Structure 1
Amino acid sequence: MTEQEPRWLDDGEMRAWRNYVVGASMLADRLHRELQDGHGVSLADYEVLVRLSEQPARRMRMSQLADEVASSKSRVSHQVARMEREGLLRRRECPEDGRGVFAELTDEGMALLETSAPTHVEGVREHMVDLLSREEQAVVAQVFERIINHLRDVDG
């Protein structure tokens, strides 16, 4: 049995891949630093606050939250436990089935979100959105929707 040669990336593909990897990492690091320095909240915690704030009653199942922030259930469980100790969230049993658990945004968590959101939005604008034309924004959105859908299909 012979092994098939990998489909190596050509120069254009390599440039796209490497610029994505470095750019995405640098952008996340910058946005994290701005939130941390200005408000003492990490980018990961900010994303959890945002997702919960957008839900009815400011809560969602832990499994759904993990999917929404593209994290493992275990990692989100530890994150929510820490954020609960900080008073930003609370966990509630799901009354429908008794097995599920909700993460629920507290008033303190909502207040932190409201004070940190302007910093985050300014950073997103300055470091990404305002650097792109409307057409480029649409392309970025379409490309990453395709990638997200593909990866969700692969992960089943």
Structure 2
Amino acid sequence: MEPRWLTEEEDRAWRAFRRLLTAVPARTARDLAADSGLSAADYEVLSTLSEKTGHRWSLKDLAAKMEWSRSRLSHHTARMQQRGLVEREPDPADARGCILHLTTGGLRVLKAAVPAHVASVRARVLDHLTPDELATLERISTRVADLPG
């Protein structure tokens, strides 16, 4: 079957989107590391854990929410645990799993990182969009991100 090739307009949009997906995360990650010493992955784990009541989440469910493999999250949080940012405890519902818990130190590091990270997100993206563009970005992002995996 012949591929359904991109039109010139689709190709331009796709290439611009790919550039966006490369540039924005790389730039905000550099800003985050310079400002707080956290990697983008560290920040994602800490901020996602902070959203949950009690700052606790099973590794299995957190990995699913973040769209990471359990192995990747396990290895990454092991390094974070060595830095005192998270703790692990047995998961009573899953003998092979664990519960990840944001430590007081991890929450303190996250809270210290947030103001500069928000400033970076604003400077790199949000401040360059009109309210209508922002609403369109939200609609498009939600629709595409919510497609079945």
Distance 1:96 1:71, change over 3 A: closer
TM-score of the two chains, using structure 1 as the length reference: 0.89
Task: Report the equivalent of 2:123.
Answer: 126
Unaligned residue ranges in structure 1 (runs of 5+):
none
2:80 alignment partner, one of 69, 79, 83 = 83
- Give the % identical residues: 38
- 1:32 paired to 2:32: no
Aligned equivalent of 1:139: 136
2:90 counterpart residue number: 93
Alignment length, in residue pairs?
149
1:92-116 CA distance string (max 9 Å, x none): 1123454431111001111110111
The code of the aligned residue for 1:112 comes to: V
Paired residue for 1:15, among 3, 12, 16? 12
RMSD of the alignment, in Å?
A: 1.3
1:115 aligns with 2:112: yes
Task: Show CA shifts across 1:66-112 (max 9, x none).
Answer: 12222221111111111011110011112345443111100111111
2:53 equivalent to 1:64: no
Structure 2 gaps of 5+ residues are none
C-alpha separation in 2, matches of 1:65 and 1:97? 14
The equivalent of 1:50 in structure 2 is 47
Q: Which has the higher contact order (CA 8 A, sep 6+)?
A: 2
Distance 1:54 1:108 in 2: 16
Distance 1:132 1:63 in 2: 36
Distance, in Å, in 2 between the alignment partners of 1:106 and 1:42 is: 17
In 2, distance between residues paired with 1:12 and 1:86? Answer: 48
Q: Distance in 2 between matches of 1:10 and 1:102?
A: 48
